[in-house]
Amino acid sequence: MTTNTRGQQVPRGMPVWAWYSSLPVGALIWFILYGQLVIFSEWVTKLFPVERDSHAGEAIAFFVYDVPKVLMLLIAIVFVTGVLRSWFSPEKTRAILAGKRQVWGYPLAAALGVLTPFCSCSSVPLFIGFVSAGIPLGVTFSFLIAGPMVGPVGLGLLYGLVGWKIATIYLVFGFSIATVAGFVLGKMNLERYLQDWVRELNTAPVGDVPDARLTFADRLKIGATQVQEIVGKVWLWVVVGILIGALIHGYVPETLMLQIMGGETWWSVPAAVGVGVPMYTNAAGVIPIVEALLGKGAALGTTLAFMMSVIALSLPEMIILKQVLTYRLIAIFIAVVSAGILATGFLFNLII
Amino acid sequence: MKNVKVYGPGCKRCETAEQMVHDTASQLGVEVTIEKITDAKSIAMAGVMSTPGIEIDGNLVHTGGLPEVAKLEGWLTAQ
């Protein structure tokens, strides 16, 4: 009967062959432009009446290099993710996870958390949909933690701005925290701390939307509308993040950075988590800051802890979840996830 | 007369979806009553896990993201 589109309204009239041919053309243009970014940013920096080596010169160079770079990366990542995610839906994920009580339900949920399209405004109906379909609470938490924590935007930008090694470390540990935290929360038998009305819903709501087959052109359209929607929404956060990154890069002395965020100061990891949790931004906004921090010699563990707590634990999300979770459960949730983040931070400060 | 329910906690996309239903119906000359459902419990009970969800005369026809106008026209004119 109908299809389940997860994109925005699609502009009508573009024929299928145009979608297919614009893919290689778009990719080619993207790569050519991406290769010119250093030349472009140095050229723009020279237009300013400042010394290239001065604080201001460094900050301006960072800003004008990072803004086009991050936006280009963001467009590419959001597009590819949008296309990939068109094969997944919350309904399919629920069907896969329903009744998975074995241990491997947790990593499976974490993996699906990364691949399933959902926005934070749907997290409450999604949570209820999962729990009422008999998906264990811990497995549901693994899903909900992994989604933002190891989202493709964060990983892709980390890869593009700070390199594949740190991106891989982040992926492995973010994924592990989602899996283990879900497992630990699952073992604590927390069902009694759900809001009363959620516990009483034990009938699995039916009403799956019939999912018609999408052509590859349809999936490309979904990717394109995702770019429009998401990049249109986050670009301001990105610019503000890069501005903060540029100021750190240009003006914060390395000695000060080593004192505050160096590996020698034991309290830097908990402090980073304490600062990160109430900070509200998204992966795209925080990674330019991470880039600048690491460039100034901040310890990897401290920086990872900061980034993870900003992305994975956000107060607005907790306020949304308050509708279904009691304060006690939210506190346990934050404590378990923070413990995982702290452990990751300390581990990396110790071994690197 | 069609009875349309738009499910969503009140994010921007849900409001846009409601507006789309309203506009498309009036363009087509289809009479509709639009009910907006923002309560998390009712949304979940309707089987909606990604919002906005659109239900027409008791049938859930769409979840997640904005619908395409062409499809919306199809649902509103279907007998």
Tens-place pLDDT, residues A236-253: 999 999 999 999 999 988
At A2 the pLDDT is 38
Q: With 70 as the cut, is the pLDDT of residue A124 above it?
A: yes
Q: In 10 A of CB A84, how many CB atoms? A: 16
The residue assigned the tokens 């990154």 is A245
| Residue A78, token pair as written in the block | 């959001």
Q: How far is B66 from chain A (nearest CA, A)?
A: 5
Using 50 as the pLDDT threshold, list the residues of chain B that sit under it.
none
The pLDDT confidence band at residue A5, using thresholds 50, 70 and 90, is very low
Query: Mean per-residue pLDDT for A71-88?
Result: 92
Tokens coding A230? 């998401």
CA dist A127 and A350 (Å) reads 37
Q: Where are the domains of chain B?
A: 2-77
Higher pLDDT, A270 or B59: A270
Would you say residue A7 has pLDDT above 50? no
Mean pLDDT computed over A77-94 = 89
- Cβ burial of A268 (10 Å; 0-12, 13-18, 19+) is buried
pLDDT score of B60: 85
B60/A207 CB distance under 8 A:
yes
Q: Which residues of A touch B51 (CB under 8 A)?
A: 119, 121-122, 125
Query: For position A4, what pLDDT does the model report?
Result: 40
Share the mean pLDDT of chain A: 86
Domain ranges of chain A: 13-203+215-352
Give yes or no for a contact between A297 and A262, defined as CB atoms under 8 angstroms apart: yes
A262 has a pLDDT exceeding 60:
yes
The pLDDT assigned to A323 comes to 82
Contact B74 A91 (CB under 8 A): no
Percentage of residues of chain A with pLDDT beyond 90:
45
What pLDDT sits at residue B14?
A: 84
Question: Which pLDDT value is given to residue A294?
Answer: 92
> Token pair of A217, please?
């052109």
The pair of three-digit structure tokens given for residue A298, joined into one six-digit string: 């901040």
Rounded mean pLDDT of A2-14? 47
Instruction: Write down the architecture of domain B2-77 according to CATH.
Output: 3-Layer(aba) Sandwich (3.40)
Of A10, A122, A324, the CB nearest to B50: A122
Terminal-to-terminal C-alpha distance of chain B: 11
* Predicted local confidence at residue A202, as pLDDT: 57
Q: Where are the alpha helices (DSSP H) in A252-326?
A: 254-261, 268-276, 283-295, 300-312, 315-321
Contacts 24+ apart (CB under 8 A), A160-168: A160/A69, A160/A70, A160/A73, A161/A66, A161/A69, A161/A70, A161/A73, A161/A287, A161/A288, A161/A290, A161/A291, A162/A287, A162/A290, A162/A291, A162/A294, A166/A294, A166/A300
Cβ within 8 Å, pair A207-B66: no
- CA dist A192 and A196 (Å) reads 8
How big is the A-B interface in CB pairs under 8 Å? Answer: 105
Task: Exactly one of B6, B14, B25, B48 is catalytic; name it.
Answer: B14
Contact yes or no for A130/A204 (Cβ under 8 A): no
User: How far, in Å, are A246, A269, A271, A302, A345 from residue A261 at the CA level?
Assistant: 17, 8, 9, 6, 11
Calpha distance B9→A48 (Å, rounded)? 47
Q: CB burial class (10 A; 0-12, 13-18, 19+) of residue A30?
A: middle
pTM over the 0.90 mark: no
* pLDDT class of A300 with cuts at 50, 70, 90: very high
Q: How many CB atoms lie within 10 A of CB A166?
A: 20
* A77-104 average pLDDT score: 86
The answer to whether B32 is a known catalytic residue is no
Interface of B with A (CB under 8 A): 7-9, 11, 13-14, 20, 40-41, 43-51, 60-71, 74-75
CB contact A316 to B (< 8 Å):
no
Task: Give me the pLDDT at residue A13, please.
Answer: 60
Q: Which among A153, A217, A122, A316 is positioned nearest to B17, based on CA atoms? A: A122
pLDDT of residue A257: 85
Test B65 with A8 for CB contact under 8 angstroms.
Answer: yes
- The first and second tokens of residue A40, run together, are 């472009």
Within 8 A of B40 by CB-CB distance, chain A residues are 124-125, 128, 323-324
Mean pLDDT within A66-80: 94
Average pLDDT of the segment spanning A311-333 = 85
| Least confidently predicted of A10-19, A31-40, A57-66, B56-65 | A10-19
The average pLDDT across A302-308 equals: 92
Cβ(A330)–Cβ(A346) below 8 Å: no
The C-alpha atoms of residue B16 and residue A233 are separated, in whole angstroms, by: 15
Length of chain B: 79
Query: Nearest-CA neighbor of A324 among A118, A124, A129, A94?
Result: A124
Bridging pattern class, strands B53-56 and B32-37: unpaired
CA distance A187 to A170: 25
The residue-averaged pLDDT of A129-157 equals 88
Give the model's pLDDT for residue A208. 53
A141-162 burial code (b ≥16 CB/10 A, e <16)? bbbbbbbbbbbbbbbbbbbbbb
In one letter, which amino acid is A322?
Answer: K
Nearest-CB residue to A121 (from B9, B47, B60) = B9
Mean pLDDT value of segment A197-204 = 66
A125, B51: Cβ pair inside 8 Å?
Answer: yes
The pLDDT of residue A194 is above 50 = yes
Task: Report strand pairing: B2-7 vs B59-63.
Answer: unpaired
CA atoms within 13 A on the CB side of A331: 4
Please list every residue in chain B whose beta carbon sits closer than 8 Å to the beta carbon of residue A118. 49-50, 64
In this prediction, residue A293 has a pLDDT band, given cuts at 50, 70 and 90, of very high
